[in-house]
Amino acid sequence: MKMLLTEDLKFLLKDCNDKLKEKYENQSNLGKKDLRRLISKMAEFISLNRMKKVEIDKLIKGRPIIGVDGSVNKQGKVYPHYIELLQALAKSTDRSQSGIVRHDIFSPMIEKDKQNILKKVSIANNKVDEDSKVYAQEVAGKIRSSLLASLEVLVAYDSILKWNPSLIMMDGSLARYKIQAEEEWEELVELALKREVLIVGVIEEIGTHDLSLALGDDLPNKMVDMYDRELMFGLLEIGEMMLFADPKDQLKKAFVRSSRDPGVIGIDLLKEQSSVIKDVASLVYSLTPEAGRGIPIWLDIVDEEVRISNKMMEMIIDNYLDPTLKQRLFHSKRADRVY
């Protein structure tokens, strides 16, 4: 059955649109000028410049820049009958060098992974009441996320040993690696500080709400629960950075508008490297196409190379898994639909 645009659906969509407009275009909301003035009490607005080649060379000192990203794909649909392939890539701007790749496989059908899931479920449920019960599916997802974060940190570590780069751009907030791959992260930080390698997290999808929490009652009622993404939309000029005050969690954070897109990206650096955040933000801005969505072109290249497509996943599974096992454990009946 195809989606039918009924009168009921039209009404629901119009009602949804009206409610969102009422919230985000409310007359009581602060305008751009007033919101910037309010935010300036807790953060600094800084204009960035697109760096010339000589300025970039001075910053990187003849050493390459590394982009790091990860990807995951899945065969099978419903827990526990699925297998996931994880892949992480570190790629140097020195095109003569091949990328560094690490892989892992995760499946609740594999005994090691199954026991890990059950152990974590047991520990979690001993700490919560019945209403907050933790389920195996949720734990499995968290384990998978931690495995991917670990792979990304490991290829970043490998890239320092192999290439001695000036800077590593990680896809996502550094806080994610710190939380999900704590042991590997600490080793990476130690090596990076020792080798004077800058590590920057580039955050495309901002899910924090630090601003509204910090501003609290200074915001109108309609704005108090807005996330940073919503408050920052259209607030910065192209090539402008909003720099937070001194970090409380060992990471220096900022928002940057690096393209014509009115949305911002986030960047974070190690607290020990925070003195160069303006230079790093200018570099990120300089490596980002003005007409793009705000992400440095090198991270987009890494993202494209590391991505595990559905076709690739299917080919790998077909070549290396017994057909009977695939059919018995991981084949989805939905794939057999004739429509």
CA distances from 269 to 174, 287, 313, 320 (A): 7, 17, 34, 41
pLDDT confidence tier of residue 125, bands split at 50, 70 and 90: confident
**Where do the DSSP E strands lie in the chain?**
43-47, 65-76, 82-92, 100-106, 167-171, 198-203, 240-244, 251-257, 265-270
The confidence score (pLDDT) of residue 229 equals 94
Section 134-156 average pLDDT? 97
Kindly report the CATH number assigned to the domain that includes residue 139.
3.30.420
Structural domain includes residue 89? yes
Structural domain includes residue 140? yes
Residue 92 pairs with which residues in a beta bridge?
66
Structural domain includes residue 248? yes
Question: pTM above 0.85?
Answer: yes
Question: Distance between CA atoms of 143 and 145, rounded to whole angstroms?
Answer: 5
Structural domain includes residue 17? no
Q: What proportion of the chain, given as a percentage, has pLDDT over 90?
A: 78
Rounded to the nearest 5°, which phi and psi values hold at 270? -65, 145
Distance, CA of 105 to chain centre: 21
The confidence score (pLDDT) of residue 279 equals 97
Structural domain includes residue 315? yes
* Whether the Cβ atoms of residue 263 and residue 229 lie closer than 8 Å to each other: yes
pLDDT in tens, 288-318: 999 999 999 999 999 999 999 999 999 999 9
Is the pLDDT at 41 greater than 80? The verdict is yes
Structural domain includes residue 15? no
- What is the rounded average pLDDT for all residues in the chain? 92
Structural domain includes residue 2? no
**242 burial via Cβ count (<10 Å: 0-12, 13-18, 19+):** buried
Q: How many domains is the chain partitioned into structurally?
A: 1
Section 32-57 average pLDDT? 94
Structural domain includes residue 73? yes
The confidence score (pLDDT) of residue 14 equals 95
pLDDT in tens, 237-264: 999 999 988 767 789 999 999 999 999 9
pLDDT in tens, 166-191: 999 999 999 999 999 999 999 999 99
State which residues form the domain around 214: 29-336
